[in-house]
Chain A
């Protein structure tokens, strides 16, 4: 098997994971494709080391995350300003962007795959300042301090943005949290 063929197999194995990481951080298919391409071009330059490496997946994920965050800070509005200046408006303004079934209990009415599709849509509709820390925390498994360091913001801001993001998802998806939460919320 030639190097190129071997790299093709390598890319087939990891491209979905890399694309998912970029897509969930950027919420934009074209940008996520560009980032995925950049990640694999970097991987090709280091393919000699990565080919046999057991941590290749982790390396790819880290590079995908870092490139996506660089992309966000470089090519989009400075997102640290987002939640301070526009956060509330966007949070409220984007509520109506996705059409969810009017049913009170979404979980009962939707099949599992449809449910995931809705979660995906709701996630991608979140403002960047909320989506990014939320994805880093829940999907990438980073801690608050690690997220704050990566994004160059305070830990308090990270916690607030994640909390707002969870609240937005709760409203959009009508998450069932149990009686204890509902009692507290009233």
Chain B
């Protein structure tokens, strides 16, 4: 038998849960739903869900959407093949090439820094870290002192 199975417990829980009566909905629920329905009924068609629009409007809106989609596809195709867009694309690719060069330069610099750090040895690295921490702590100390002195006089 699976460790997650226990027929006796399952039967007992099933008995208990099946014996539960249906819960009564709050009395205010029906008026609340009817109020929403009434409010929706008096609202104009364009503010209601599409499924509730009159059938002719549904057909027209669907046709308009299809036409808009077709127009968008056609327009995109035209745009892609337009000479102006082709020159803009080549200009953009030039920008991307520059960006790529800048990124690769940064990568080379980062690699050089990593190499330099690796050649320094652990003790020197520890010393640098300690110096940085000390500098940070000194800054915090000075700022704290400054704040205390300035605000203590008020």
Q: Which residues of A contact B (CB under 8 A)?
A: 4, 7-8, 11-12, 15-20, 23-24, 29, 33, 36-37, 40-41, 44-45, 116, 119-120, 123, 134-135, 138-139, 159-160, 162-163, 166-167, 169-170, 173, 175-178, 180-181
Tell me whether A178 and B8 are in contact in the complex, defined as CB-CB below 8 angstroms, given that A45-B49, A139-B17, A169-B16 are known contacts.
yes
Asked if B9 and A33 sit within 8 Å, CB to CB, the answer is no
- A117–B32 CA distance with the chains assembled, in angstroms: 27
Asked if A8 and B23 sit within 8 Å, CB to CB, the answer is no
Asked if B33 and A41 sit within 8 Å, CB to CB, the answer is yes
Which A residues are CB-close (under 8 A) to B22?
16-17, 20
Asked if A181 and B20 sit within 8 Å, CB to CB, the answer is no
Asked if B6 and A181 sit within 8 Å, CB to CB, the answer is yes
Q: Given A4-B34, A163-B4, A169-B13, 19 more contacts at CB 8 Å? A: A11-B33, A12-B30, A18-B25, A19-B24, A19-B26, A20-B23, A29-B26, A36-B29, A37-B32, A37-B36, A41-B37, A45-B51, A119-B20, A120-B23, A138-B13, A138-B17, A167-B9, A175-B12, A180-B8
Residue of B nearest to A47 (CB): B37
Tell me whether A116 and B19 are in contact in the complex, defined as CB-CB below 8 angstroms, given that A40-B33, A45-B49, A166-B10 are known contacts.
yes
Count of A-B contacts judged by CB separation below 8 Å: 103
Chain A nearest CB, measured from B34 CB (Å) = 6
Asked if A119 and B17 sit within 8 Å, CB to CB, the answer is yes
Asked if B16 and A119 sit within 8 Å, CB to CB, the answer is yes
Asked if B36 and A181 sit within 8 Å, CB to CB, the answer is no
Tell me whether A166 and B37 are in contact in the complex, defined as CB-CB below 8 angstroms, given that A36-B25, A138-B13 are known contacts.
no
Tell me whether A160 and B4 are in contact in the complex, defined as CB-CB below 8 angstroms, given that A45-B52, A138-B18, A175-B9 are known contacts.
yes
Chain A nearest CB, measured from B69 CB (Å) = 26
Which B residues are CB-close (under 8 A) to A166?
6, 9-10, 13
Chain B nearest CB, measured from A123 CB (Å) = 7
Asked if A138 and B23 sit within 8 Å, CB to CB, the answer is no
